[in-house]
Structures are given as structure tokens and as C-alpha cells.
Homo-oligomer: A and B are copies of this chain.
């Protein structure tokens, strides 16, 4: 990258200090110098080095984002929303796709630390000792988005997964369902996976509905796992079929839907189905999917704003977990029985 600040200074016949001042838009610079410097910058096609600037200022205006899976609608919506806000605040994003690989996550955490990002947003679901200990000893702000922080002194922005799953189950019970199957995410996912399952369990028990273990299966939030687990439920021989399936993600719900449809059953006449996330795909399938709405864009924006506050040391959020409101989006895939 050709020109350095020194070249600009020489060309303009001024000191590097003056060039730096122009670059940083300081006041108290004479018009004469301003013009000469701008002229020289143009002539040399000069682009200042953020590397050098970051080294000196000990600030990179960069934040690292750890995402489980770019190709997941919900993740990419959050990411896109984080990006939008980051752009407003002048941050650039280093993104890391960990693909549920803890080794990769650790490697990335180290990498962004070495790059001296100003802060980190983590959306991972699983974790392990190494990662926990990294986070614990890291000195930069770290915020968890859409998952609960595993550590007491780190913050998270998310919905109340337990309450949301419980509300969803209540809703299905209110529709007259008693045989309610649950297609869970990963149980190793200690934050949303377990919370959503627990919400389902408690809502059933509150309504006095006994749990049918045949109606509970776990996957990995992806479509294919929804299809496979649904198949297991349908082929379980003897027992009765559920009248509704509550999936812990829209992707799993769609997988289950297609399994049901491919079996020649109708939705919602034979089996109702409810998703979780209310991602774009919920409106793309037919029948349209009733789903628990997570305010994805607000989650992304709020995550970035809180991280920004942490970085600027504007004091801590009010509480360790910031809950954004969830709500049920009623569509065509659940019927009253």
C-alpha cells in the first residue's frame, strides 16, 4: 500500500503531525494546511493504516462475533442486525462460524483476542471448560446473544426461553390438545435447549397432562433432524399419534412438517405443528407455520448496543440477563381440536 503519512507530509510540505490532525478532523488547522494536505492525499491516493492507528490508540473499532451457523435463518438475521448497528457505531465485524465445533470456537476466541477486538458477541450453544476459562480470564467485554451467559459476571441479551416454551405449550393446550409431542434442540445446549424443554414439561404438568416419553425427541435445531425425529415418532408403532408437534426451532418444525406431509397426513387436519423462532421460513412454507416469535432484529441491535456500552465503560446493564419480549405468531399450522 504505497503512501505513508510521511509521504503525504513531505508532498504537502508540512509535518506529519499536521497531516495526522487533518486526518482526524481536529480543529485549529489553517485552511492553507488543510488544502495542501487534502491535495497531497488525493495525489498520492493515500489510505491511512488502521493497523498503525490501532497500535497507537490501543483500540481497533472492531468486534468479534462468534456464530454457530451462518446458514441458519435465525442466526443470519441476528448477524445481519448486529452488523447494521455495528456499522452505525463505526465498528467492523470479524465473524467466526464455529459450526458447533468447540475447538474451532476456542481457536477463534484466541484469534480475536490477539486481534485486540474491542469486544466479543457470542451466540454459541454448547461450551466446555477451556472456553469457560478463556472467557473468565479475558479482559475485554464479552456479551452473549440469544443464549444465557454461563458465567456470573458476563451479560446476555435474549428472550426468556423457559417462559416462551411454557407459553407455547399453554397455547396448544388451550387449543384443546393433550397429546403434545416435543421436538427439542440439543440437550447439551444448556441455555435454550434445556430451558425450552423445561418450559414444555412444566406447562404439561401444570395442566395435569402426563408426559408421554414417546412424544419427546431431541435433534440439533436443523431441518434434517426434525424430519428424522418426526419419522421416529410416527413409526413408533403401537401408541397413539400426537395431535400436535411443538418444535424447538422453525427449521426442525419444517423438517417435521415435510415428514408428516410425505407420509400423506394433512396439516393441521391430522397433526398440528408449531415452530420456534418465527424465522423467514415460517412464512415460506404451506401451510404457514404458527411459531413462537423471537424479536431477532431487536435482539441483534440490543446486543450490539449493550456491548458498545460495555466497551465505552458506560456502566453495566441493569441486570445480568436482558429479556426481550416473545410472542406467539398464529398462522395456519395449528388447529383447535
Residues of A whose CB lies within 8 Å of any CB of B are 1-2, 45, 47-52, 54-55, 60, 62, 69-71, 73, 76-77, 79-80, 83-84, 87, 92-97, 99, 104, 110-116, 137, 139-140, 223, 254, 258, 261-262, 280-281, 284-286
Known: A70-B80, A84-B99, A284-B284. 14 other contacts (CB 8 A): A1-B140, A2-B139, A50-B114, A50-B116, A62-B115, A69-B80, A70-B76, A70-B77, A80-B97, A83-B95, A87-B104, A223-B280, A223-B284, A285-B286
A48 touches B114 (CB 8 A): yes
Which residue of B52, B55, B284 contacts A258 across the interface (Cβ within 8 Å)?
A: B284
12 contacts between A and B (CB under 8 A): A48-B114, A50-B116, A51-B116, A52-B55, A70-B76, A71-B76, A71-B280, A80-B99, A83-B95, A92-B96, A94-B94, A223-B284
Q: Which residues of B contact A54 (CB under 8 A)?
A: 51
- CB <8 Å contact, B92 and A111: yes
When all copies of this chain in the complex are counted, the total is 2
A254 with B115: CB separation less than 8 A? no
Q: Is the CB of B71 within 8 A of A114?
A: no
- The residues of B that contact A93 with a CB separation of less than 8 Å are 94-96
Give the chain B neighbours of A79 by CB distance below 8 A. 70, 97
**A54-B110 Cα distance, complex, nearest whole Å:** 16
Distance in angstroms from A18 CB to nearest chain B CB is 20
Complex CA–CA separation, A6 to B50 (angstroms): 23
**A77: B residues at CB distance < 8 A:** 70-71
